[in-house]
Structure 1
């Protein structure tokens, strides 16, 4: 399996000094219809796409096993959620970066969960201050219709992992704009705002829409990766259109 992009499939002799992509997700509730691994699966799929594009230019790239636990305290009111918290996650990212930089040429964390941002903004600049070539990028759309387990995420999962979507259980949650919901979300967590765990409305989601969203996600991430400009917070800055 020396030609596989996945680190888990290679022996140590087959690991070159190259780009290492580390998918970063979460294990948290995603409403009554999506699996708790939704963020992790999307981050891993984007990382795989980036590795394929990088390798098409005759450069090697390796995708690490996903980090499946993130900072998900806002979802702690729901069964199935496992959160490391920001401080523990930042420490884990720091140690992953320090360890992998002993053999990887460059490390890029591919983040699929918004709750991980504070930890990334702490750990990655520290790695860079230690002269390690590390950065992160978000799996984020330039525009979106809802925040969590709604139309966009459900469509993405119908495209990427349809067997694990319970569309028959999809139902609207809190549908107000996220800016309007934020004060209550910070004070009460997601369960206090949306008892079913949904921020948005997943009804009407489709695999076709998910395919378009996934292409946009990957194009946006690729523009960041290929441009290579790192902001002060460690994030790869948006590049020109892919």
Structure 2
């Protein structure tokens, strides 16, 4: 998927003044027997790059750069599976605080594009702390539109996205239905026993009908959501960028 050079592709003398920097935040953790460990990071990066392209088209005067992804997150709930590489909530919070403090020395706004649900609490805490310090920072989720919470991990949406983004890394012969109960119903078990205690395969959802075409459509929708949130810039108390209709309602 073609995109403009990212932040790290530039020399320091080639950087535009006060750019808006999008930072993809992912994880390194199991995504069932059929998806790679970097699934969250790959999706967050793709959403950030596509959102950046949308922002440049809508606002030619706005300098937007995508930073290298943060590939480690708070993934303790997946510790029962080999391959998990989690730095924990407190280390993630500290990492994000120090990263944004550094970026704020030369960037305009920093927007963290989050691709892993386990990062939410340390991310919100870090951004709230940074905003109190006066930094221009916010965050946004990569939402797939699963309001019921029945497709929350390595299911139809994430598998479709990876079939679109990196089909050579998806093994559909090993894809199998996991637990499809609503996430709210599963949460007590997830907290007590982790994902392995709820779903031995690590899948929360059903990936078997996933398709690259749906993944392309979903990526476009997710990028439009992130670009729309970043475009108007209004955030809630945790620093989460609001959708345009939410921002208007709160005005």
| TM-score past 0.5 threshold | yes
- Answer whether contact 1:25 1:43 (CA < 8 A) is retained: yes
Q: Provide TM-score, normalisation by structure 2.
A: 0.92
Which of 68, 82, 85 is the matching residue for 2:85? 82
RMSD: 1.4
- Answer whether contact 1:227 1:240 (CA < 8 A) is retained: no
| Cα deviation code 1:70-111 (max 9, x no counterpart) | 000000110111001110000000000000000001100000
The whole-number CA distance in structure 2 between the counterparts of 1:240 and 1:42 is 25
| Cα deviation code 1:88-137 (max 9, x no counterpart) | 00000000000000000110000000000001111101111111100000
Which of 132, 139, 142 is the matching residue for 1:139? 142
- Answer whether contact 1:5 1:51 (CA < 8 A) is retained: no
* Offset, 1:18: 0.9
The whole-number CA distance in structure 2 between the counterparts of 1:41 and 1:4 is 16
Following superposition, which runs of at least 4 residues in structure 1 exceed 4 angstroms of deviation?
none
Q: What is the aligned residue count?
A: 239
- Answer whether contact 1:109 1:137 (CA < 8 A) is retained: yes
Q: Does residue 198 of structure 2 align to residue 193 of structure 1?
A: yes
- Answer whether contact 2:54 2:224 (CA < 8 A) is retained: no
What residue is the counterpart of 1:181 in the other structure? 186
* Offset, 1:4: 4.0
- Answer whether contact 2:52 2:227 (CA < 8 A) is retained: no
Q: Does residue 97 of structure 2 align to residue 94 of structure 1?
A: yes
What residue is the counterpart of 1:204 in the other structure? 209
What residue is the counterpart of 1:66 in the other structure? 69
What residue is the counterpart of 1:149 in the other structure? 154
What residue is the counterpart of 1:13 in the other structure? 13
Which of 107, 111, 136 is the matching residue for 1:104? 107
- Answer whether contact 2:159 2:207 (CA < 8 A) is retained: yes
Which of 104, 114, 123 is the matching residue for 2:117? 114
Q: Provide TM-score, normalisation by structure 1.
A: 0.95
The unaligned stretches of length 5 or more in structure 1 are none
The whole-number CA distance in structure 1 between the counterparts of 2:131 and 2:183 is 32
Which has the larger displacement, 141-150 or 186-195? 141-150
What residue is the counterpart of 1:34 in the other structure? 35
The whole-number CA distance in structure 1 between the counterparts of 2:84 and 2:146 is 27
* Offset, 1:60: 1.4
The whole-number CA distance in structure 2 between the counterparts of 1:182 and 1:14 is 47
